[in-house]
Amino acid sequence: MSLIDLIPPALRPWAIALVLLAIAGAAAGGAWTVQDWRYGQALAEQGRQAAEKATAEAQSATARADAVTAALVIEQAKRVALEGRLKLNDETHYKELSDAKNTQHRLSDRLATADVRLSVLLATGPGRAGGDGLSAAASAGGVVHGGTRAELDPAHAQRIIGITGDGDRGLIALAACQGYVRAVWAASQRPAPP
């Protein structure tokens, strides 16, 4: 006797349909499981590739950031060096200016106390004393040889010292400006790091 003979004849078509449905369901479930496994592997592969790509991009971005940081550090070191040179330049020119001012002030003080007298060389011509190329006779109290000189009024001497002091300060300031421009120009002409 077979298994089908045990089923009543009225229920046999339903039993066969139920068995066929069970077989179809098992086949569909198996296919579903296989597809799930295959798609899971494909998704895992895509995830791995995306992670590798993200890692590579992160490493590339890190390398670029490191290069930019290194360039910034180099530029900052150049800027600090330039600032140091400019500060030294400023200090040097300030000292020169201060020394020139002190010298001018001392000379002005000496002129005011008649410690020093400014004089000018008088033009000599024919018929004047010493016009023949010989020096004028020295007085009994001095040994000055040369052309005839006239002493300047102390007020005029002070003005002349003031004018020359202004000129000295102007030249020192000009030298400071030129040094600054040269330092900045030299720093800007250095090639940038690759």
pLDDT in tens, 61-102: 999 999 999 999 999 998 898 899 889 888 988 898 888 888
* 182 has pLDDT over 80: yes
The answer to which of 84-88, 123-127, 164-168 has the lowest mean pLDDT is 123-127
Name the band, by pLDDT with cuts 50, 70 and 90, for residue 24: very high
pLDDT at 5: 77
Highest mean pLDDT among 46-50, 128-132, 144-148: 46-50
**In the predicted structure, residue 139 carries a pLDDT above the cut 60:** no
Phi-psi region of 55 (alpha: psi -120 to 50; beta: other; left: phi over 0): alpha
What is the residue-averaged pLDDT of the chain?
Answer: 81
Q: Are the CB atoms for 161 and 117 separated by under 8 Å?
A: no
Three-state secondary structure call for residue 183: helix
pLDDT recorded at residue 173: 86
Residue 115 confidence class, pLDDT cut points 50, 70, 90: low
CA atoms of 100 and 116, how far apart (whole Å): 18
